[in-house]
A and B are shown apart, each in its own frame.
Chain A
Amino acid sequence: MKVLVICPWAFNPGEMWPTLRSLKAEGVHFEVASTKSIIEEERARTETPRKFRVKTLDEVDANEFDGLIVIGGHRIPREKLYYDTTVRAIVEAFERQNKPIAAICAAVPVIRYILKGRRCTVFPYSKCIVMLQREGAIIEDASIVEDGNVITAQSESCIEAMIERFVRKLRGR
């Protein structure tokens, strides 16, 4: 089983590390992809951000993976993900194949195209709420919301629980 993790080039370590740690603990392989080939920890969170080499979004083939997780990060690179057409194509490809899709915190609007008429949760940033409402998503004030193959988590505090549900869905396929 292999999962694709999409993140902004300045990712939130509070979301990235618990996600990857939980996936590793569950024995799920993962591959990280971003808009740039070199990504780094969000500067506001760590004094000395570490850099890593990852796949770029153009190199990603959705057929290689069994699930998708989108995590957040610094505002500007994260907002680039909201409007990235490659990300949209990847999300829609996962949705067409009915593969599990998860998004955390302010990264939920990245998957907004598949949330029409579906329940979800998001970190209460007004911009995120407006974007989701425009696409017809039903926003709930809950820590984790599951609707079909889509799982959304409101904040980084519930990542472990979200990954547990995500992996259960992966194995149930």
Chain B
Amino acid sequence: MVKIVPVSDEEKEMLKTRRLGRISWSIIKQFEESGYDIARVEVTDRSPESLAYTLRSYIRSHNLPYRIMVRHGALYIQRKPPEEEVPKLDESVVE
């Protein structure tokens, strides 16, 4: 049996707070605040590949300008260079 019940104001306020993520958000926030272009993420409790997968999913879903890579068993996080200038579609583009 399903029942529809009204939501209290306190509950509504609780719904507004967004879950930031326990692992990915803290790593990305640290990197953002560091100001580095590229940094190595030192992992101890899990494999770099596993953390890379988690971070990539987070970056993709939040559309963040970072890149994650695993090289020689180490995990790196890098800032993406700004996107190339997209040309305006006008008469100069048409051959």
| Interface positions of A (Cβ within 8 A of B) | 17, 20-21, 24, 29-32, 38-39, 51-54
Contact of B91 among A29, A38, A51 (CB under 8 A): A29
| Interface positions of B (Cβ within 8 A of A) | 86-91, 93-95
A24-B91 in contact (CB<8A) = yes
Report how far A17 CA is from B91 CA in the complex, Å.
11
B94-A51 in contact (CB<8A) = no
B91-A39 in contact (CB<8A) = no
Main secondary structure of the interface of A (DSSP, over half): strand
Some 14 contacts from A to B, beta carbons below 8 A apart, are A20-B94, A24-B91, A30-B91, A31-B90, A32-B90, A38-B86, A39-B89, A52-B87, A52-B93, A53-B87, A53-B88, A53-B89, A54-B88, A54-B89
Report how far A39 CA is from B91 CA in the complex, Å.
16
Residues of A with C-beta under 8 A to B86: 38, 51-53
Report how far A31 CA is from B95 CA in the complex, Å.
16
Closest 7 CB pairs of A and B: A52-B89, A20-B94, A32-B89, A53-B86, A53-B88, A51-B86, A54-B89
A55 to chain B, nearest CB (A): 9
A21-B95 in contact (CB<8A) = yes
Residues of B with C-beta under 8 A to A21: 94-95
- Tell me the nearest residue of chain A to B94, going by C-beta: A20
- Tell me the nearest residue of chain A to B88, going by C-beta: A53
A28 to chain B, nearest CB (A): 10
B94-A24 in contact (CB<8A) = yes
Residues of B with C-beta under 8 A to A39: 89
